[in-house]
């Protein structure tokens, strides 16, 4: 790429970030397993066009969380994975509707690839009936990865996970969990460590 082309690209990326410097993170399937590629080759849902602001970016990060922390800005529909050197990877997410959204501090208690979905009694009552257990796969609402949020040794029943409805990224639509595109949750999954801190800001408290 020419210097002029690079300058135009960086200029456009900076404009996207507002007060945060933003550059597009390289999109790669290097972190995808052969199973991921097979299952996502022909997903049983329409491919969604994710708005530019909700695509994966590397941004400046001025908050105090240490590298390896996940922070979810509920209002902005962003998830940040904190990197060293005042940077973070910013992903667009779908969050829970206000009455059902999780907020607070948790830890990553469990990680799973293509997890089964076990609908809670509340979800069964509101949205069911569903089978007692839905096997993992591209049609599963949890998508390609599940990152399970715990407080102490107790499962909060909230997760960061993939989705079979990528068209809802950037909205408050879920039953409380934090949804990412399957490509983004695969990317986050291979970075995050068990025991990592997860901070979910409540509505009205933006990063």
- Per the annotation, the verdict on 42 as an active-site residue is no
Q: Looking at the chain, list the stretches that DSSP marks H as alpha helix, in order from N- to C-terminal side.
A: 3-17, 34-41, 121-127, 182-189
The separation between the first and the last C-alpha atoms of the chain, rounded to the nearest angstrom, is 34
- Per the annotation, the verdict on 57 as an active-site residue is no
CA distance 182 to 62: 27
Helix (H, G, I), strand (E, B) or coil at 73: strand
Q: Locate 8 and state its tokens.
A: 């135009």
Residues contacting 95, CB < 8 A, separation 6+: 72, 74, 77, 101, 171, 172, 173, 174, 178, 179
CA distance 77 to 179: 10
Helix (H, G, I), strand (E, B) or coil at 81: strand
Active site residues: 161, 177
């Amino acid at each position: 790429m020419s210097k002029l082309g690079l300058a135009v690209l960086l200029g456009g990326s900076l404009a996207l970030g507002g007060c945060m410097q933003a550059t597009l993170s390289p999109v790669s399937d290097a972190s995808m397993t052969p199973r991921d590629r097979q299952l996502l080759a022909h997903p049983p849902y329409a491919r969604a066009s994710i708005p530019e602001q909700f695509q994966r970016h590397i941004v400046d990060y001025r908050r105090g969380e240490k590298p390896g922390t996940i922070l979810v800005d509920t209002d902005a529909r962003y998830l940040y994975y904190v990197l060293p050197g005042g940077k973070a990877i910013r992903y667009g997410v779908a969050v829970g509707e206000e009455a059902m959204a999780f907020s607070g501090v948790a830890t990553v208690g469990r990680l799973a690839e293509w997890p089964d979905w076990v609908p809670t009694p509340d979800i069964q009552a509101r949205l069911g009936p569903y089978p007692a257990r839905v096997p993992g796969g591209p049609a599963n609402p949890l998508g390609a990865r599940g990152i399970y949020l715990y407080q102490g040794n107790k499962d909060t029943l909230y997760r960061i996970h993939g989705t079979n409805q990528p068209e809802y990224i950037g909205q408050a639509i879920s039953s409380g969990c934090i949804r990412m595109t399957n490509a983004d949750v695969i990317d986050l999954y291979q970075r995050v460590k068990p025991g990592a801190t997860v901070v979910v800001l409540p509505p009205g408290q933006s990063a």
